[in-house]
Amino acid sequence: MSFRGFQKSVVRAPQTFKSRFNIGEQTKDAVYSDSERRFQELETETKKLHDESKKYFDAINGMLNHQIEFSKAMTERDHKRIDYDRHRTTLKKLQDKKERSAKDEKALWKAEGDTETATQEFNYFNDLLKEELPKLFALEREFIQPLFQSFYYMQLNVFYTLHEKMQSCDIGYFDLTRDIEEAFHAKRGDIQEQAEALSIVKFKTTGQRRPPKYGRPALEGPRTQGLLTAGPSSSSPSVPTTSKPLARIGYTPTGQASADSESQPPPPYSPGSPGLQAMAAAKGKPPPPKPKPSRFSAVPVAETVTALYDYDAQAEGDLSFRTGDVIEIITRTKNENEWWTGKLNGKQGQFPGNYVQTSS
């Protein structure tokens, strides 16, 4: 403590004495007092945990140090064994020599002494380890086995408590005696089959182009007068059975011809067919704008297109329009049989490219 701190302690001593014996007026805060009490309890438990952990680590370190001494003894035993084998081999070599000189006799006497010393040292370490190691194993087994038993019973109590709590959560809806996978399949039923049978799911997974709501027949050859519109047929309200996109009436774009070079063209349609006349009469819409020339570039660059047919949105994100509406192009592809993105009356959406005609 510094001298200044000592001075402050002396100045505070009278008030500290009064506070200790509850004399005079004192400032108290119930919330802070409770927090201080809880902190002191936490500090006490932490110190207790630290002391217990220190005792445990000291015991473990002592055991490790004890094992290190055993390891050193085992290493020394290996060295003595090598010396013992070396001296014994030298002695045997000199003993097997038939004619020995004075120098050989001196070496033989020295080898006998070294062999005897090496034998005593090796036997000492060998017998010591053979006697002490089983005792070490017994002591460690007596220490580790109860430790594992304690861990086992601790985990058993935890799992038993969890089991009891989960049993109280049985509401009758779940059968806890059945296998989890079997119960899941039983609860699910045929929901997956019903979901996979939906056409919208097949559309989403296959990624194919959505068929138009109203089919239109394709006409062969160039048109010279007007543009015949095809309205919804009362006799066939369903989607056309062919999955091949219909070509625009009056011409066949070069881009489409290159894209469908391997597929066959749609069947020809006679202008005098009663089915088409009936559809045109039933529609009763004003004539479409003037058709484009029969020959034009494969990918015309245009900002707007004119609707040739009525189209009602079939899914979320589609753009509805009527014949003659001018649609602003947002994004488009070279193939008119694909879906384009446009904007009409402030609403943006997708629409089939073969329902419109590029503006001149």
The interaxial angle of helices 102-168 and 30-95, nearest 10 deg, is 150
pLDDT value, residue 206? 45
pLDDT at 267 over 70: no
Q: Is 318 helix (H, G, I), strand (E, B) or coil?
A: strand
Closest CA to 286 of 262, 317, 310, 320: 310
Integer-rounded Cα radius of gyration of the chain: 50
Question: Which residue carries 């006697």 as its tokens?
Answer: 131
C-alpha to C-alpha distance for 188 and 222, rounded to whole angstroms:
57
Question: Which residue carries 């460690």 as its tokens?
Answer: 140
Extract the runs of DSSP E, i.e. beta strands, from the chain.
304-307, 326-331, 339-344, 347-352, 356-358
pLDDT at 308 over 80: yes
Q: What is the per-residue pLDDT across 211-256, written as a single tens digit (0 to 9) for each? A: 555 555 444 444 444 444 444 443 344 444 434 344 344 444 444 4
Question: Which residue carries 């055993």 as its tokens?
Answer: 70
Cβ(320)–Cβ(313) under 8 Å?
Answer: yes
Q: What is the per-residue pLDDT across 166-223, written as a single tens digit (0 to 9) for each? A: 877 766 677 777 888 988 888 888 888 888 888 887 654 444 556 555 555 444 444 4
Closest CA to 209 of 46, 338, 27, 74: 338
pLDDT at 1 over 60: yes
C-alpha to C-alpha distance for 139 and 263, rounded to whole angstroms:
86
Strand partners, 327: 305
What the block records as the tokens of 122 is: 């090796």
CATH code linked to domain 288-360: 2.30.30.40
pLDDT value, residue 159? 94
Closest CA to 90 of 117, 115, 119: 115
Q: How many CB atoms lie within 10 A of CB 359?
A: 15
C-alpha to C-alpha distance for 157 and 255, rounded to whole angstroms:
75
C-alpha to C-alpha distance for 230 and 322, rounded to whole angstroms:
13
In the chain, domain spans: 34-168, 288-360
Whether pTM > 0.75 for this model: the answer is no
Higher model confidence: residue 231 or residue 335?
335
pLDDT, mean over the chain? 74
What the block records as the tokens of 151 is: 């861990």
Q: What is the per-residue pLDDT across 139-175, written as a single tens digit (0 to 9) for each? A: 878 878 888 888 899 999 999 999 888 877 766 677 7
Q: Is 86 helix (H, G, I), strand (E, B) or coil?
A: helix
pLDDT value, residue 118? 92
Strand partners, 340: 351
Q: What is the per-residue pLDDT across 20-76, written as a single tens digit (0 to 9) for each? A: 777 777 777 888 888 889 989 999 999 998 998 898 888 888 877 877 888 888 899
Q: What is the per-residue pLDDT across 336-360, written as a single tens digit (0 to 9) for each? A: 888 889 999 888 999 998 889 887 5
C-alpha to C-alpha distance for 97 and 95, rounded to whole angstroms:
5
Q: What is the per-residue pLDDT across 112-136, written as a single tens digit (0 to 9) for each? A: 999 999 999 999 999 999 998 888 8
What the block records as the tokens of 110 is: 């020295």
pLDDT value, residue 211? 59
pLDDT value, residue 66? 75
pLDDT value, residue 10? 77
